[in-house]
Each structure stands twice: as C-alpha cells, then as structure tokens.
Amino acid sequence: MATPALRDDFRLYIDGAFVAGEASFESLDPARGMPWARMPAASAADVDRAVRAAHRAFDDSAWAELTATQRGRLLTRLGDLVAAHAPELAELETRDTGKIIRETRAQIGYVAEYYRYFGGLADKFEGAHLPVDKPDMEAYLRREPIGVVAAVVPWNSQLFLSAVKLGPALAAGCTVVLKASEDGPAPLLAFARLVHEAGFPPGVVNILTGFGEECGRTLTAHKLVSRVAFTGGPSTARHVVRNTAENLAYTTLELGGKSPVIVFADADLESAANAVVAGIFAASGQSCVAGSRLFVEESVREKLLAILAEKARRIRIGDPADAATEMGPLATPRQLAHIEATVAASLEAGAALVTGGGRPAGFEDGLYYAPTILACAGNEVPCAAQELFGPVLSVIAFEGEADVVAKANDSPFGLAAGVFTSNLTRAHRLIRKLRAGIVWVNTYRAVSPIVPFGGYGQSGLGREGGAESIRDYTRTKSVWIRT
C-alpha cells in the first residue's frame, strides 16, 4: 500500500502573515503510529522576527490606541470564531495528539468561553485613586500592559492552555508570541487563521511552533520580551527560569502534578469511583490535574478497588476520532516508554497490579496503554512518586484524617486535590490542611474561566484564569499630581 502524502499546509503566523519557517518536521498520528503532516519549525531567526513584530505592534497606534472596550470586542469575536470552528479544531487536535474527539470537542467549547470571558473583562479592570495624606496632592494608579509576552505551552490541551494566557494578555493590551509544542501543534497553527480573521492588527499575536532548545529558548530569553507565561514540565521550567535571567521577564509557571484523591469510608463510593476514573483516565491520564494518587480509607479499600477495577476494564479503548471511544492512545512514543518503564520499576518495588499494566491487545500500531491500577504500600513506589502523565492510578490505604493529610502532602507537587466524604466539616478541615492550589470536594476536574488555576510547590508559580490573572499582564504606574 502506498504511504499517504503528508499534509503540508501548516504555517507559522508572524506579523500578520502565514510563513513557511526555515525548517520543518513530521508530526505523528498517535493512533496509527505514523507521520501524517509536515509542520514548520521556527528557527532562532523566525523567533526574532516574531518578537520584533510583537514589539513594534505594542506601540503601534493600530493596537496601542484601541480602547479596552475595543480590545474586548476583538477577544469576544475570537471566542465566537473558535466556537464556530470548533468541529475542525477538535478534529485536528484529535488527529495530532490522539486525544479522543469527545474530549477535544468539549474542551474547545470551553476555550471559546475563556476568550469571551476575558473579552468581557477587558474594560472592567480598573486602576485606583489613592487617598494620600497630603492635601495638595492627587495620587492614582494606572494599570498598563506589561509589554511583549512569550507564551509557551505543552502538547496536551494546547488551545486551552493558550487561551488562559492570550485572553488576559490581550485584554490588558499586551502583544504575544505564542509557542505551540512541537508535539501536536496542528490545532494552534489552525487557530492562527481565526486570530487573523478576528482582525487583530499584524504583530499583536504571533504563533510559532518549533523545538524547545532553539525556538523555546530563543523566545523566553529574548531581550524584547517582558513577560513569560509557561506551562510544561518542572525540568523545562528550570531552563525557562534560567533563560529569563537574560531579560528579567516577569514569569508565571504552570507545571506538573501528582494530585491526591482522598476517599473516606462515608463517601458515596459509586459516585467517588466515577470521579476517580474520570480524574485519572480522561485524556489517557495526560492531564496536569490527573488524580494519579488515590488514598482510600482502609475499611473500604477492597470494596472501592473492586468497583474501580471493574470500571477501568469496561473503558472502551479505540480510535480517538470515533465518538464512541472512551480512551485513546498516548501522544508520543516518549510518553509510552516512560510509562512502561515506571510501571515495571513499580512492580519490582512491590506494587501489586490490580488491572491493566501493559499495552492493550489489538492496538499494537498506535501508542496505546491500558487503564492501569496499582496497589502501593506508600508514596515511595515510583508510580506514586513520579508524574507519569499516563493512565496509571496508584492506590494507597490510610487510616484517619491526620494520616491521609500527611500522605497526600508528601509530594513536591501541589496542583490539585480531591476529597470525597459526606462529612462537610471534615471536608473543611482537609481543605485547610491540603497543600494544593485547587481542592475539589465530592467532584473532580471542574473548571471555569472565573476560577483561578495553579499550584503550590513544584506545581508552579502564579495563577491563570479568573479576573485577577489580568493583573499579571500589567505594570502599575503610580501618578502624583500637585494640585
């Protein structure tokens, strides 16, 4: 059979024009394990052109003289365009990352809402009048856009993770160079056409893809960049922080997680099990908030494990483009190899396999891994200690509140936590003690543009989403006037 030709119409978006980029690379279809498209790879020179375009556009009257209301209207229009083009964006994300179509469709609906939310917020972010103790003086604060923003996103949920950066940045009046991941960049490169159609002046939004070392490093270290908004892994984040030693850009980091989900004996076990399954197996576990450590009260451990194992075995694995599929492949061969190696090391370290633990039969061509549950003695087992970013749940028993708080907090990460109990006063005690940026009680994974998102510890610095996130894209100017 002849190999199908690679799709070759993806372009970089620099200064309002779609350009080929100096190099290119093949993007893999994870469901088939074959390349399906050729992507442009931005060189250091491409990055430099994009940053200079953003720098010029920042002061250009076509953008700088727009009122906040006008900027808001552009963002709202962008949100409407995302909603109108949701089916094709969802298909591209599914094709390029292997994320199932049900999830990409649902998430792109949210993406439109985030742009509309920040569009509505643009002219509601106010400065302040300061009542200084000087009768002949007026003092007030202006909030001014910080400058050129370098936004860097990982391969999972690229449209969503860029909306929480572009939305507040553009609402504040900044200009942006957005770097899509080199894995699965198709949806963001297609999104560039919607930015163009929405009518943002040239250079206000530039969208690139390329490799971390050349494209990512050049961008985050660039002297004309004033603000870096990064989402990715903790080790890359350390490179990014070193890069910003060059420009001293104000930096926010959204990093990994090893989020605990805690189930007490008094919880509705069926409902908790549904949330645990969705919390770890959605997106094949490739989610920063994946509830990858389950802490279950000893008295219901066996019962909950049986329910979970049954639900995990029933998950329908298949082609991510099929709307009936409940779990698709992993996004990259690197991910698959990491998960295989960590599960093997965990079994060697004494973890007991409850279900899964390998590649599912019949899916040898794609990057599939079965929904896996491992019973572990404690957090030291590799699958409970490390972020796997895959469909692997580590289950650890506990006895009492103090024990579970100590175990849940025993991680360098602190992104999210889930608590399942029918005792609301106990839930409040845990909310106070858990070191996590988000605590969900009797639910898991709820998100909204109105609610901030971000972690404690190694899970990051700063918050995305919510009205306050605009502040991080502004500088305060203090004004004194003698009257």
Tokens of 430: 């845990």
**Binds ligand NAD (CB under 6 A): choice among 233, 358, 452, 457:** 233
CA distance 110 to 159: 10
Termini Cα distance of the chain:
82
- How many residues touch ligand NAD under the rule CB under 6 A: the total is 31
Query: Segment contacting ligand NAD (CB under 6 A): 76-84, 103-111, 151-159, 166-174?
Result: 151-159
Name the DSSP letter for residue 464.
B
Angle at 276 between CA 273 and CA 281, to 5 degrees: 120
Token digits of residue 78: 């962008």
DSSP output for 15-37: TTEEE--SEEEEEEETTTTEEEE
Specify the amino acid at residue 52.
R
For position 368 contacting ligand NAD by CB under 6 A, the verdict is no
Q: What residues from 212 to 231 belong to the interface with ligand NAD (CB under 6 A)? A: 212-213, 216-217, 220, 231
Is residue 462 part of the contact set for ligand NAD (CB under 6 A)? Answer: no
Residue number, 72 or 187, with CB nearest to ligand NAD? 187
Q: If binding is defined by CB under 6 A, does position 415 make contact with ligand NAD?
A: yes
Smallest gap from Cβ 228 to ligand NAD, in A, equals 9
Assess 240 for contact with ligand NAD (CB under 6 A): yes
Element (H, E) at 326: none
Is 96 a binding residue for ligand NAD by CB under 6 A? The answer is no
Nearer to ligand NAD, 81 or 92 (CB): 92
The 168-197 contact track toward ligand NAD, x by CB under 6 A, reads: -----------x-xx---------------
CB of 162 within 8 A of CB of 151? Answer: yes
Nearer to ligand NAD, 420 or 453 (CB): 453
- Provide, rounded to whole angstroms, the least separation between the CB of residue 237 and ligand NAD: 7
Is 254 catalytic? The answer is yes
Structure tokens at 415: 């992104």
Tell me if 243 contacts ligand NAD by CB under 6 A.
yes
* Stretch (H or E) spanning 473: none
CB 246, min distance to ligand NAD, A? 11
Query: What's the min distance (Å) between Cβ of 464 and ligand NAD?
Result: 7
Alpha helix positions (H), 140-211 = 158-172, 186-198
* 252-311: contacts with ligand NAD (CB under 6 A): 254-257, 288
Q: How far is the CB of 13 from ligand NAD (least distance, A)?
A: 16
Q: According to the binding rule CB under 6 A, does residue 154 interact with ligand NAD?
A: yes
Closer by beta carbon to ligand NAD, 286 or else 421: 286
46 binds ligand NAD (CB under 6 A): no
DSSP characters over 84-132: HTHHHHHHHHHHHH---HHHHHHHHHHHHHHHHHHHHHGGG---EEE--
- Residue type at position 262: I
Rounded Cα gap, residues 29 and 88, in angstroms:
16
Out of 29, 297, 326, 387, the residue judged to bind ligand NAD by CB under 6 A: 387
Contact range with ligand NAD by CB under 6 A, out of 40-48, 232-240, 357-365, 378-386: 232-240
Is the CB of 264 or the CB of 453 nearer to ligand NAD? Answer: 453
Which residues partner with 414 through β-bridges? 456
Nearest residue (CB) to ligand NAD, 228 versus 269: 228
CB of 479 to ligand NAD, least distance (A): 36
Which residue among 36, 155, 444, 473 contacts ligand NAD (CB under 6 A)? 155
Task: Find all residues with CB under 8 Å of 109, minimum gap 6, and list them.
Answer: 83, 86
Task: Please tell me whether residue 456 binds ligand NAD under the rule CB under 6 A.
Answer: no
User: Pick the catalytic residue: 254, 326, 387, 464?
Assistant: 254
Specify burial of residue 18 (Cβ count, 10 A radius: 0-12, 13-18, 19+).
middle
Side chain identity at residue 156, one-letter code: N
SS3 253: strand
From the list 145, 357, 460, 466, which residue makes contact with ligand NAD (rule: CB under 6 A)?
Answer: 460
Specify the residue, 244 or 421, whose C-beta has the smaller distance to ligand NAD.
244
Side chain identity at residue 45, one-letter code: A
| Burial bucket for residue 170 (CB in 10 Å: 0-12, 13-18, 19+) | buried
Binding status of residue 239 toward ligand NAD by CB under 6 A? yes
Output the CA–CA distances (angstroms, integers) from residue 2 to 319, 364, 365, in the order listed: 22, 20, 17
Structure tokens at 121: 């917020």
Which parts of this chain interact with ligand NAD (CB under 6 A)? Answer: 152-156, 161, 179, 181-182, 212-213, 216-217, 220, 231-233, 236, 239-240, 243, 254-257, 288, 387, 389, 415, 455, 460
Enumerate the active-site residues: 254
